[in-house]
Amino acid sequence: MPELFAKSALHGQKPLTRAGVTLSEEVLGPITSVACFPGKRALVAAQLGGFPAPNRREGNLLWTGPEQAFLLGQAPDLSGLAATTDQSGGWAALRLNGETNKLLARLFPIDPRSLTEGTCLRTPLFHMSAVLTRDDKGVLILVFRSMARTAWDEIAHAMEMLQAREAIAG
């Protein structure tokens, strides 16, 4: 019987640095979608140590919609308080480090200055749905696992174009 090994969405992809920005894959571990049942938000927040307001990140909780968040890490039992679904295999995470604002302006329909630490946005990355947040390590981008390679390629291309533009400007 063959042995199967779990691999990340971008397994083997080396980090890429261009124009003062580094793009790399980040393996997050468990990702759980938490959707609060009506009137249960406060109880869910008590169990999780908080719950993010719209467009915010609170600790390891990323806002994903009204009364919804992604929990990064192990989820406690929230039976009767929230609907939870394991999303670990469905999402891939990419990390941007460095001077990211010019690059973000090319990739996302947002003002990159608004993406301060603790902000969490649902926004398109070209034709792909993405969750975007900034933390003390840089910018974290979550995309559907099936779109991870496309997201990588789009970001890498934008990095190449930004580097070329800076080289011409001298």
Structure confidence by residue, pLDDT tens digits, 30-71 = 999 999 999 999 999 999 999 999 999 999 999 999 999 999
Predicted pLDDT at 169: 87
66, containing H or E segment: none
Question: Hey, what long-range contacts does 109-114 have (CB within 8 A, 24 or more apart)?
Answer: none
In this structure, how many other beta carbons lie within 10 angstroms of the beta carbon of residue 108? 19
> Looking at residues 107-132, what average pLDDT do you find?
97
Higher-confidence position of 155 and 169: 155
In this structure, how many other beta carbons lie within 10 angstroms of the beta carbon of residue 6? 6
Predicted pLDDT at 4: 83
Tell me which CATH code domain 17-28+89-169 carries: 3.30.1360.120
Higher-confidence position of 7 and 36: 36
